[in-house]
Structure 1
Amino acid sequence: MSWIILIVSGALEAVWAAALHRTSQVQGRARILPAALFLASVIASTAGLAIAMQSIPIGTAYAVWVGVGVVLTSVYAIVTKGERPTAPRLLLLSGIAVCVVGLKAVA
């Protein structure tokens, strides 16, 4: 169960990163929704990481949390045309994903 919580928490890291980016792109009252989403997702993401760390070693948990967040944030940026899906970028992101799976396999 801790691994599921950790993966969901990593996904929420991507949500708060995207929401934080959106707060800088809008003006006035329109900033309230992405700011609220940022706040809720950062709290949930960090809380999930803390829960997962009760049974997963700290280094492993943190690396997986960050890895999931990095890969999903980059996928979001590629899908929304914020970044170009170059071959080196996709190869390196795949490497991060493989390392996350590897950490699960050896933990």
Structure 2
Amino acid sequence: MAWVWLVLGGLFEVGFTTCLRFADGFRNIPWTLGFLVTMILSMVLLEIASRTIPMGTAYAVWTGIGALGTVIIGMIWFGEPFTMLRSLLILGVVACIAGLKLTAH
């Protein structure tokens, strides 16, 4: 179950980075509240997962999911560049996350 909490926490990390994009220096209150709520949920879920999963592994996977999701959201919705090199690097991140999960005890 810890892995489910960790993945969910990583997805909330994508939520808080997306909200941060629209928070406008924390002057846009609805987006700022979205940022705060998703950030808190993300951190709480990371903490819960790290009770079972080693912290180094949990943090690396959590960060990887957040980074990967943020890059994909940027490419799909915000017109960030989609190139073959970026795609290969994204696959590299996915491979590293999978490797960490497979080697965690």
| TM-score tier after normalising by the smaller chain length | over 0.9
In structure 2, C-alpha distance between the alignment counterparts of 1:93 and 1:13, rounded to whole Å: 17
In structure 2, C-alpha distance between the alignment counterparts of 1:33 and 1:63, rounded to whole Å: 30
Q: TM-score, normalised by structure 2?
A: 0.93
Following TM superposition, where does structure 1 have runs of at least 4 consecutive aligned residues deviating by more than 2 angstroms? Answer: none
| Aligned-partner residue type, residue 22 of structure 2 | R
Equivalence for 2:43? 46
In structure 1, C-alpha distance between the alignment counterparts of 2:23 and 2:100, rounded to whole Å: 33
In structure 1, C-alpha distance between the alignment counterparts of 2:67 and 2:87, rounded to whole Å: 12
In structure 2, C-alpha distance between the alignment counterparts of 1:82 and 1:101, rounded to whole Å: 28
In structure 1, C-alpha distance between the alignment counterparts of 2:57 and 2:46, rounded to whole Å: 11
Matches within 5 A, 1:21-36: 21-24=21-24, 31-36=28-33
Equivalence for 1:61? 58
Equivalence for 2:20? 20
* 1:94 CA displacement: 1.1
The percent identity for this pair of structures is: 37
For structure 1, the residue ranges without an aligned partner over 5 or more in a row are none
Q: How many residues align?
A: 104
In structure 1, C-alpha distance between the alignment counterparts of 2:4 and 2:78, rounded to whole Å: 29
Equivalence for 1:75? 72
Equivalence for 2:2? 2
Equivalence for 1:90? 87
Once the two structures are overlaid, the 10-residue window that deviates more, 50-59 or 78-87, is 78-87
Q: TM-score, normalised by structure 1?
A: 0.92
* 1:19 CA displacement: 0.2
Matched, 1:103 2:100: yes
Measured on the aligned residues, the alpha-carbon RMSD in Å equals 1.5
In structure 1, C-alpha distance between the alignment counterparts of 2:79 and 2:47, rounded to whole Å: 31
